[in-house]
Amino acid sequence: MWRDANEAAAEAPPWIQQLVLAADQFIVKRAIPGQPEGRSVIAGYHWFGDWGRDTMIALPGLTLCTGRAEITKQVLLAFAQFVDGGMLPNNFPDAGGRPEYNAVDAGLWYFEAVRQYYEITQDLDTLRALFPVLGGMIDACVNGTRFNIHVDPADGLLYAGGPGIQLTWMDAKVGDWVVTPRTGKPVEVNALWINALATMAGFASVLGKPSDGYEKLGAKATQSFQRFWNAERGFCYDVIDAPGQGNDASLRPNQLIAVILPVSPLTPEQQRDVVGVCGFQLLTSHGLRSLAQGEPGYVGRYGGGQRERDGAYHQGTVWGWLLGSFALAHFRVYKDRVAALRFLEPLGKEIFTSGVGTLSEIFDGDAPFLPRGCIAQAWTVGEVLRAWTAIVSAE
């Protein structure tokens, strides 16, 4: 359990205190029926809107870690109204058009945001209101929903995608070219799926509702998750059961999510190996590379026209938000608070460089890791704040 946010902030270094202020930039009003004072999260400045995936990843750091749980509640309730086919919208058009539902992971991150909110607040009324929505989302995954998203009855794992579709956070697409399609069973999606099931089992127990179904499916998926382990290379496949490809052995940072979630489907030894290989080949001072140097398709500089930029977006470009994941994973494995916090400091100093007072979206994969993309990114700020708070406050 995190300590009081004001107490933690008083002990924070100046760059963390500045990020608490920067968090305000991303929280905006989003009036919806029944909630004229509703809230949402802008993904980044200057050109991003409010997106479901980005909102749910950034929300705990931006609001819970800064003592604004009421805003967390407003956002969670607002998004609940737009769940459709068991999916959370990934995009709200500014012109008032229909939301887009092209994300397999946005809804799964929603479970984790709700879990963190309840852990801090013990707000049973909100939990009761959201529980049917969450249950419907699980049912939709089991029964199948849009974009071929469904639970494979053979192993309990979540499958998603098809030709020309991008559904995970690695979602760059140029015309008909999906740069990293990741069709099949992505590693972080299934880590989130297992945690969503564990979260629902816990919520059901709190509310006095049946939890057996969630527990049984979670146990099956957890056992099957060992299929992700690539013993030859000593880390997780990024995607398994990809059509026409089998298992994708590319070294990417997505497997870190399987280490940092409350229920890790990896053994302690596997967690250590994931942290080790990611630290050796993906970690930079400003975040983690989206693809290891030396892997086919690696691009070390983000630049050029739209095709060149989108082609590099998840092919080596460094993402700042993943530095929070790495620090949390390192702390989980080694329990070394000082070392884990040190990983965050170089990125924290970026508040003096690109978007002054805040943190950028991405950086070049090659040194000197120049900042690129949005000059202010919600999940970079949110995840650094969340990681710092969790590590400092851990018993």
Task: Provide Rg for the chain, Cα atoms.
Answer: 19
- Whole-number mean pLDDT of the chain? 94
Give residue 96's pLDDT band: very low, low, confident or very high (50, 70, 90). Answer: low
In this predicted structure, which of 22-36, 118-132, 295-309 has the lowest mean pLDDT? Answer: 22-36
- Amino acid letter for position 336: D
> What phi and psi values does residue 191 have, to the nearest 5 degrees?
-65, -40
In this predicted structure, which of 25-39, 40-54, 241-255 has the lowest mean pLDDT? Answer: 25-39
Strands 246-248 and 239-242: antiparallel
pTM of the full predicted structure? 0.95
Give me the pLDDT at residue 10, please. Answer: 64
Mean per-residue pLDDT for 248-266? 98
User: Has residue 391 got a pLDDT over 90?
Assistant: yes
Mean per-residue pLDDT for 87-107? 85
Give residue 4's pLDDT band: very low, low, confident or very high (50, 70, 90). Answer: low
Exposed, middle or buried, 194 (CB in 10 Å: 0-12/13-18/19+)?
Answer: buried
> What phi and psi values does residue 77 have, to the nearest 5 degrees?
-70, -40
Instruction: Output the CA–CA distances (angstroms, integers) from residue 153 to 113, 235, 258, 261, 303, in the order listed.
Output: 27, 25, 21, 24, 43
Which domains does the chain show, CATH number per domain? 5-393 (1.50.10.10)
In this predicted structure, which of 20-34, 116-130, 231-245, 255-269 has the lowest mean pLDDT? Answer: 20-34
User: Has residue 1 got a pLDDT over 50?
Assistant: no
